[in-house]
Structure 1
Amino acid sequence: MVQPWVAAEYGAGPVISGLLAMIMINGSARAIYSPSMFSALGQIVPRDEIARASAMSSSVWQGAMIAGPLLGGLIYGLYGVGVAAIVYVGLMVLGGTGSLRLTPKPPVEQTERRSMKQDLTLGIRFIFSRPVILGALSLDLFAVLFGGVVALLPVFAHDILHVGESGLGLLRAAMSIGSVSMMAFLSWKPIGKHAGRYMLWSVAGFGVCMLAFSASTVFALSVAILIIAGSFDAVSVVVRHTILQLETPEDMKGRVAAANTMFISSSNELGAVESGIAAKLFGTVPSVVLGGMMTLLVVGIVAWKNPKLRQMHMK
């Protein structure tokens, strides 16, 4: 948001260096923040309310992803970059101060001595030893890796749907709108029985939406499809978070959450790379078709090879 102002004042060099530094710092902070919040949620919320809490937490996050850029742009346009930066820092301090009011709980004691190498790989080894957790993570990982279309939205907006910047903005926001709506519903009506089946069907529905989006040449229909895709994705995210909370012991939650953050975060970037390469090789529309078909294939393989996930209930 502030890079045009910095570029005008100091040139492009400081902009690039500053952006890279901020991205690195932000990534490092998220590497600590995400596992910590995941572990804290399991300690704060009763077990029978985990599904509802996961949905509420995810909906707040998605809502902030929509509202943040809108409010930031509005403040920047009305009052300038200085006020926007002050508001941003103030909100961060306010959020951090609120977290300090949480009553800390003593850490779970380590019952066995482990080497550093064992500690570094413990979370990964635990995930691979739990078929339900491994299946849930694999579904989300490969669905994002193959089925994501976000990186290609500018091409669809310009070359296929023939809409301007405002249309592209609506396309980008559509999935988040669907996600927030579904997560708000799930916080009121959480999934209990047949959670594994719901997750499998939701990822399959996401793949079907990608196929439908690739065939659409009508802007309103494309937006509606992306909203539905976001709703399906929300079900998958909430079920995955809830499974991780319920199936992971307290002394492993930080490690499992760190591994989950690493895989899911990297799959977003790798998915964008995959989309670009596939679009270069096969064309924009065929690459999305391929991604949707690969997503459906992954769902079929996981459902076939992982009956425990298919029969999973969240209690």
Structure 2
Amino acid sequence: MSLTQIVAAFLAALLYRLLSAWLSRRNGQAEWGRIPFLFGTSVLVVYWLQPSLPIRGLDYWLPTLTLGLTTICWAAVTPREERGFRANAPALLGLLGAALLVALTGLINLPAGILTLAAPPIAQAFVGLFLLGLLIFISIRNRRTSTGKILGVLVALFILLKTPALASSISAGLRALAGQNTAGASALDIRWLGFSYLAFRLIHTVRDRQSGRLPSATLAEFLIYAVFFPAFSSGPIDRLERFLKDLRSPAPLDSAETGEALRRLIIGLFKKFAVSDTLAIIALNTQVAEQI
């Protein structure tokens, strides 16, 4: 994440907490709009943080596949009686709305720096989203949980993306489908933001489901856990059980908590942009640069 993205995410979270605390005092609620805010923000940040890629349309489809794969995994690890469409309709509609909203940005000229990805043609987006939605529908309607299949898919994707020769072959195939030159195909063409983090989190939920330790979670809660925006780009890996405990019982916002958050943010920014970047410049000599 860039400095601008970090500050923007922090300010958005802080403004929400202040607004939520004010509305909660007026309405007598525990915390107003917590789940919708975290769900909407986390879903949109998946698209916002995805870097631009040389393969046409891929920087839109990779974040979309992140959300689709997470939804299919939720269906695989959740008992059939708990994946009803009515109870999870807001989350499903929110996912569809976010994907369509980002796709429609291809019709307008956004200011530079707001969104790095390039939206695909609208017709392609509609067809792709329809097929992905159909796969999600089948997964939710499946009478049995299919943890073995989703585990195999996650492991296979991990091997394909992390093996340079295989990733280069996939890049060449995608370039050919997009009508682009395949001579420059490289494993770096498929920079799927946060996939390693996502895969480990989803594999954890599959293994916990297989051992009977996985707690019940709605689709919205599961998606927030999987793509939680403060941790999506760099972690850490967390357990669903502990995450749900904090999600459902938020700590009150007070001056001590705000001060501690600011202290951690400032220290983290100093380590990242002062210490880490300076050491990187020192370590990047001519020989290393040629190897990169």
Q: TM-score range by the shorter chain?
A: under 0.3
Taking structure 2 as the reference length, the TM-score comes to 0.25
Task: Report the structure, 1 or 2, having the larger helix content.
Answer: 1
Taking structure 1 as the reference length, the TM-score comes to 0.24
